[in-house]
Every structure is written in structure tokens, then in C-alpha cells.
Structure 1
């Protein structure tokens, strides 16, 4: 994806028609966001892929009733390689739902998939991603997924914020004081009324300005000059 990583989704279902119908719905939902959808016809195939690339997918849609390895068994195997990837089960039988707790299922969708229920699940998934340190911004043409680690610093520009990141610069309509409350305090610090920095990207501090990765020079106000070295030291201790 231009300026960021695409959303990577796997669909595992031994019914090719069901896979294709779900693919169309997913592409419609993510129409303004780059999305890569991979299809698997068996539990064996997706387990083989995840075993070699545990972090390949951001979400997995898994049919429960499949020939060979069923979806629940496949999900258990996937959990040995990736304990956190959201798994959304597809099933024609609601009684399977209780079994999903063992593999930390994110959601269940009955087949054929209802578009409204799918949108609800994907909205919840997006909210979950935001709460775990991801933010969705726009580059003017497409939406881009960023992790907080990608952000070098944030600059307030009137009613907008400009996010300077490892993947480019992004402008969002928001107030700095509102954004600060959502950032993890261990990693982010306000150093000026117009600037918030990511401590992970600090390369030097001369008492007046802080030098960030990629050579960005950020002014530090008197209000925060004494606190910055303390916060940097605490951050470095935490990272050891």
C-alpha cells in the first residue's frame, strides 16, 4: 500500500463459491484501503503458510466444517504459531460457537455471510486494532494503517495534526490535546505546545532542541526541558 502496509486477510473455506462471495464483500468494505486477500481451500494449506510466516495475516476467516482438517483444528494449530491473530469463524451451525473459546475466536459469522454482520465484525476488528496501537490515517487518496511505533513526532497545525512517520507525512483533522490522551505515555511526550515526540525515535538532545530520526529538529519548551532527560532515561530502562 502506498505509504503504509496493506491489510492482509486470509479466507479458508473448501467451498470456492463461499470464498469468492466473502472476497467481494471484503473488498467492498475496504474499498478505500489497500487489502490483500489470500484464499485457501483447506486447513492444511493455511496451517502450512502460517507455520512458515506466523505474522502474515491481520485476520483469518475460517470455515469450521471442512474436509480434512476442520476449522477448529486448523485454528488450534495456528495458535501454536500466532496467539493473537484474530480468527473469525464461518459456520452453518451455531452450536460450534462454544468450541471457539479454546482458540480465542474473535467472532462467528453464519453462512451465507450477512453483509451487515460482516461490517459489524470488521468495525469491531478495526476498533481492536486502534486500541492495540494502530491508527488509520489518509494520505489524500487512500487510508493507511500506522502503528504507534511508526510515528516519529506529531505537529499541531491549527485545527489539524501533521503526523511525521516512517511511512511519510499525514494530515488529520484533530486537536493535539485529544490525540495525546490516546498515545501510550511511556513512549510519547509533549515537548512544546505544538509538538509531541516518540521517545523511541530520539537520537540527541542538546538542552534546547531534540533531534529525531531522519534528522528532524524539534524545539523543546522551558516547561519540558528538565522533564525530557528523566523521561528518556525511564524509557531506556523500560526497553532493557
Structure 2
């Protein structure tokens, strides 16, 4: 079951999204549980977890952008799709790492394309984890909490979301790459694999991560890296 939140103060608009979700679930053979919130405050105080959030931007009180900013202080992963009357309001979505946006009035064709992209994103990250033998014992890491992994001599350094110090483990970068094959990682150099969900910018020969780290892309891998990241973020892979 996929749990999806609809944060929308307009009753008709919320009903339309709920009906579209039910139709999409029936067409694609997946069970979807939609929960409606009539205000951003109601959503923020619910303390529920969701696989996807549809967020109206223009709402009284706390607007959708403010709610998304607050959400990102404790949840950096759940995809957000903004719903708005004017596309210009959605361009700020990059500030909160929004997955996409839909302009009202929402048509089912437009909605279906956004849902296809969202479902690819959700399924890529759902349930995948790795088991590491650390000095303090076994530790299980979900792939979504790994920003990037780099090798120094014979040690791997796992840079994790919200952690200042990386997790240091003896190991091989090639072995890690094989273990996460089919996941959201791309090799940007001989010494580094980056989680594409945490790429915020490709600037020249550098990748900038969600925690602000700037990682060099090797010259021989730049074209392949940029093409792979572009296809991933556009939902093509």
C-alpha cells in the first residue's frame, strides 16, 4: 500500500486529486491510501508518514511552501509535488527539493505523468538497504540515507544524511557498487559513488550534494555522469 497525503484547502480540488489517485491505483494495480488535509497546519501536526505528498502552494495561514520548508527540517526524503494556480510559484520548489509540480486545473493526463515519475522514484528507494560490519557491530543502512561513498586507501567513507562525520568501514568501492546495482548511485570518479537523489547541482566538473559538499567529476566520466543524472532526475531511468 502507498500512503499519499493531499494538502489542499479547496474541497473540489482535493476531491479531484483523490479521485485521480483512486483511478491511477485501479489502472496500475496498486493500492493507494489517500489522506486529505485542509490546511498545512493540520498536515504538520498530524505526525504521520507518507510515501508522497501533494501540496497546494496558496493556502491561508501557513502556505504550502512554508509547510514544505518545515517538513524538510525533519524529513529530507519524502517526495513533494506542488499544486498551484501559477507555475511561477512552483519554481521555488528547488529550495525544498520538490519532485515536480502541477498547474491547476489538474487534468488526469497531466496527473498521470507526474504520478508515473513519483512512483518510479518511490519504488527505486523503497525497502533497499545494506548491512555493514562496523567496529561497533552490524549496522543496517537504507540507501536513501547515503549521500555518497568514497574510498581512501582500503577504507570506505559513507557520508550520511544529517551526519557531519562519515561512517568509516574497511571495504571495496567496486563491491559496494555491485551491491547497490540498479539503485540510485552513479560513479563520478574512480574513488566516489554518489546517490543521485542527493545531487543538487552539476557545476562544471563538480557535483554539489544536498549537504553542500562539492565532489569532483573525473574528466573521463563527465559526459556519462551528466547524462545518467539527467535521465535519473527526469524520470527516464
TM-score by length of 2: 0.53
- Is 2:83–2:104's contact at 8 Å kept on the other side of the alignment? yes
1:87 maps to which residue? 80
Distance in 2, Cα, partners of 1:22 & 1:184: 39
Distance in 2, Cα, partners of 1:13 & 1:72: 13
Distance in 1, Cα, partners of 2:180 & 2:101: 35
Distance in 2, Cα, partners of 1:75 & 1:184: 33
1:8 maps to which residue? 3
- Long gaps (5+) in structure 1: 1-5, 135-146, 150-182, 189-240
Is 1:23 the counterpart of 2:10? The answer is no
1:31-180 correspondence to structure 2 within 5 Å = 31=26, 32-49=29-46, 52-53=47-48, 56-132=49-125, 134=126, 147-148=127-128
- Long gaps (5+) in structure 2: 130-175, 182-237
1:114 deviates by 1.6
1:176 maps to which residue? none
Which string of whole-angstrom CA distances, capped at 9 and with x for unpartnered residues, describes residues 130-174 of structure 1? 332x4xxxxxxxxxxxx345xxxxxxxxxxxxxxxxxxxxxxxxx
- Is 2:51–2:122's contact at 8 Å kept on the other side of the alignment? no
Secondary structure of the 2:83 match is strand
1:101 deviates by 1.0
Distance in 2, Cα, partners of 1:29 & 1:112: 18
Secondary structure of the 1:185 match is helix
TM-score by length of 1: 0.52
Where relative contact order (Cα < 8 A, 6+ residues apart) is larger, the structure is: 1
Tell me the number of residue pairs that the alignment of Structure 1 and Structure 2 aligns: 134
Distance in 1, Cα, partners of 2:180 & 2:62: 43
1:98 deviates by 1.9
1:129 deviates by 2.5
Secondary structure of the 2:33 match is strand
